[in-house]
Amino acid sequence: MDDLRAINNDVESNATKISAKNVQVYYGDTHAIKDVNVEIKEHTVTAFIGPSGCGKSTFLRSINRMNDTIDICRVEGDIRIDGQDIYDRNIDPVQLRARVGMVFQKPNPFPKSIYDNIAYGPKIHGLAKTKADMDEIVEKSLRRGAIWNEVKDRLHAPGTGLSGGQQQRLCIARAIATEPDVLLMDEPCSALDPIATSQVEELIDQLRESYTVVIVTHSMQQAARVSQKTAFFHLGSLVEYGTTDDIFTNPKDSRTESYISGRIG
Amino acid sequence: MTDISSGSVPLTTNEKVQASLGRRRRKQFILQGLGIGAISIAFLMLFILLWSQIATGYKAFMQTNITLEIFIDPEEVPTERLPRGNFDDVLAAALVANLPGVDASDRAALRSASGILSNGAQFDLRDRIVENPALIGQTITMRMPVSDPYDQLYKELLDRETPENLRRLDDAQIANYDHLVEIGAIGSRINTGLITNADSRFPELAGLKGALMGSFWALLTCFLIAFPLGIGAAVYLEEFAPKNKLSDFIEVNINNLAAVPSVVFGLLALSVFIGWFGLPRSVPFVGGLTLALMTMPTIIIATRAALKAVPPSIREAALGVGASRQQVVFGHVVPLAMPGILTGTIIGLAQALGETAPLLLIGMNAFITSAPGTPFDSATALPTQIFIWADSPERGFVSRTSAAILVLLTFLIMMNAIAIYLRSKFERKW
């Protein structure tokens, strides 16, 4: 697995960005997430891996309170970003989601122009005062989303007309247009072909400089390629959490080892 | 496969499949035949409906007219007495001038001959002269509709072979008519009065303007009430309401409401809008309120279906960048659902346009000879006008009823065509 490590990362020195303590998530009577404790470091790509239905996406969605939109879903425990409890009464989920961007499994651009896709977030949050400000935000976001060169000549063409990989990078650019601290990605490459996947992975690595990235992935190779820290979930529990190197080369738990070597999953 | 004990040659899978193929093909053939049969019967019915209405109705789109040179006698129509005057005598004189066989001093013969002029002709003449009194003393040329029996005669709906005492026109009247045809005074034109006139007791003067305006005001009222209320209710139920027993109960009842017979809505409107609120009878506004009650469930159901069809990924995308629930719904979901909502609304309005029973109950089947200028003037609507005409004894109303049905069908087809156009134009591929 050493050959998959493109970059050597010393992440242990980074400060903690997101800390979860005793987090429980229930869907009705189903106990989907059981007692998860995790500390996610700043400017790090953290991968959540695990077999289907293990709760990794559920946990990811409780970090920006997307689970609030599901009536029967209930979150208990303590999730803090920069020390602030995000389930506190005083926290508006709308405000939280401006700080915690999210990229979804299937590219989901709005059926609007590329420009409007990026401008939507800044517009509703009032981040740009003038048209020039907005143009600047759009260009900056598209550049960071590594898609500027491909779309700069057709900013007013519909976003849905782009290819799958371009759409996903557009969605990443849209998520970072509101200047979030944290970027959550729920299997961002599962609907993409290998070339688009490698472009998105490259982008994720660049994003680490400015954001804290949490990525859910089904592909262990992808986790190994892009992340510095990895968390392995199984049946709603966090089984093991550590540097990606350690998880892949020297797993402590037998379940982690079984999953990594392909025996469960 | 290897049933050796029976001694028969074992069938291979391929042979077994072969054996069943014929049966399967036959079944499919029968099913297709039934489908084609069903469609053929449906089309045949539609054809019979349209054909029967067109065959009787097309004649009402033409109107027989008589053109006369009229001398406006200052003796009969003195300027100072306007708008009063003996306009009918002026007309009769002009008519008799063209009929050498009629003795102008014989009152009975004169009355019998002038029956060819429509009852409305004198009023048309009066209006023309009141507008321009300088015409008094001059001779003017005027074209006016002939009365119903002569119109029927021209259209060959009145049989000359019928014995005289059973006919609506006697031999002398027919002779006069033939003479007028000969000198070219009688002709046929497109019947613009069918659209521009309001209702009348005389078929040759009766038109649909009152009914069209009545339907227009009623539908406008219906749309302005049912559209915002329907969308509001649907958006709340679909996007904001908590999913519990109460919202389930409301949902079931809205679906039931869509199936309530329309006559019940008519009774409700009669007792509530007219009885309690004291709104006037026979007015399109009350008709529109009644139709709105009926259309609302249709709009709610269509809107909810359209909202449900918006993919959740769009909601997630908007929520993900920090849009509030209200921004997600009104900024993304409702605009994307709009084609579906509009289609449902137009179909609901088309239903409302053809609805008769509730309008009968609130009195929109009254005999009203002027078109409504506002939604608060008494009026009929297209379907109730058809009902009134179908009930009238005059022969001329038979073809007019069919013509009115064709006009109503034209509007319905146009509305449905708009719905189809909107659906195909704004249809999105996800």
Phi-psi region at B244: left, alpha or beta (left = phi > 0; alpha = psi -120 to 50): beta
Domain stop point among B17, B37, B58: B58
Mean pLDDT is lowest, of B5-14, B128-137, B241-250, for B5-14
Domain co-membership, B168 together with B124: yes
Higher pLDDT: B79 or A225? It is A225
Q: Which residue of A has its CA nearest to B244?
A: A71
User: Domain-by-domain residue ranges, chain A?
Assistant: 2-260
Cβ contacts of A110 on chain B, cutoff 8 Å: 314, 317-318, 332
Q: Do B246 and B180 sit in the same domain of this protein?
A: no
pLDDT for residue A145: 87
- Rounded to whole angstroms, how far apart are CA atoms A116 and B143? 64
B58, B81, B100 - which closes a domain: B58
- Summarize pLDDT for B282-332 with one digit per residue, the tens: 999 999 999 999 999 999 999 999 999 999 899 999 998 889 889 999 999
Nearest chain A residue to B430 by CA distance is: A160
Residue carrying structure tokens 């003449």:
B125
pLDDT at residue A48, rounded to an integer = 94
What angle, rounded to 10 degrees, do the helices at B209-235 and B334-353 form?
A: 140
Span B268-287, pLDDT tens digits: 999 999 999 999 999 999 99
Shortest alpha-carbon distance between residue A38 and chain B (Å): 23
Query: Which residues constitute the domain of residue B359?
Result: 209-426
Handedness of CA B226, B229, B233, B235 (dihedral sign): positive
Q: What is the mean pLDDT of chain B?
A: 89
Quick check: is B9 in a domain? yes
**CB contacts < 8 Å between A and B, how many?**
63
Instruction: Examine the domain organization and report whether B218 and B126 are in the same domain.
Output: no
Cross-chain residue pair B315–A69, CB shorter than 8 Å:
yes
Task: Report the number of distinct structural domains present in chain B.
Answer: 3
pLDDT in tens, A74-114: 899 999 999 889 998 888 888 899 889 999 999 999 999 99
**pLDDT (tens digit, 9 = 90+) per residue, A249-258?**
989 999 998 8
Q: Are residues B106 and B15 in the same domain?
A: no
Percentage of chain A beyond pLDDT 70 is 94
Check whether the bond before B261 is cis (ω within 30° of 0): no
Inter-chain residue contact B322 with A104, CB threshold 8 Å: no
B317/A104 CB distance under 8 A: yes
Q: Do B322 and A120 touch (CB under 8 A)?
A: no
Judged by CB atoms closer than 8 Å, whether chains meet at A174 and B243 is answered as: no
Residues from chain B contacting residue A98 (CB–CB below 8 Å): 321-322
Residue B201 placed within a domain: no
Q: How far is B313 from chain A (nearest CA, A)?
A: 6
Q: What pLDDT is stored for residue B298 in this prediction?
A: 93
Chain B residues with beta carbon closer than 8 angstroms to that of A174: 317, 321
When mean pLDDT is compared across A66-75, B351-360, B409-418, the lowest value belongs to A66-75
Same domain? B75 vs B50: no
| pLDDT in the model for residue A2 | 45
Over 70: is that where the pLDDT of A36 sits?
A: yes
Same-domain check for residues B12 and B152: no
* Contact residues on chain B for A94, CB-CB shorter than 8 A: 322-324
Report the CATH fold assignment for A2-260.
Answer: Rossmann fold (3.40.50)
Higher pLDDT, B382 or A70: B382
At A3 the pLDDT is 45
Contacts of B427 in chain A (CB under 8 A): none
Pairing outcome for strands A30-41 and A16-27: antiparallel
Chain A closest-CA separation from residue B195 CA (Å): 45
Which of B171, B196, B221 marks a domain boundary?
B196
Is residue A136 predicted with pLDDT exceeding 70?
A: yes
| Residues B90, B214 share a domain | no
CB distance A111–B336 less than 8 Å?
A: yes
Instruction: Count CB atoms within 10 A of the CB of residue A23.
Output: 21
Q: Is the pLDDT of residue A33 over 70?
A: yes
Question: Tokens in use for A12?
Answer: 């242990």
Chain A contact set for B312 (CB, 8 A): none
- Give me the residue from B243, B317, B327 closest to A108, CB to CB: B317
Q: Are strands A229-234 and A182-186 parallel, antiparallel or unpaired?
A: unpaired
Give tens-digit pLDDT for B224-254. 999 999 999 999 999 888 888 998 999 899 9
Report the pLDDT averaged over residues B42-47.
96
The residue among A124, A141, A183 with the most chain B CBs within 10 A of its CB, best to mutate, is A124
Question: Which pairs with CB-CB distance under 8 Å and at least 24 residues apart come from B173-178?
Answer: B173/B112, B173/B113, B173/B115, B173/B116, B175/B101, B176/B99, B176/B101, B176/B102, B176/B113, B176/B116, B177/B116, B177/B150, B177/B153
Same domain, B168 and B291: no
Question: Smallest CA–CA separation between A104 and chain B, in Å?
Answer: 8
pLDDT(B199) > 70: yes
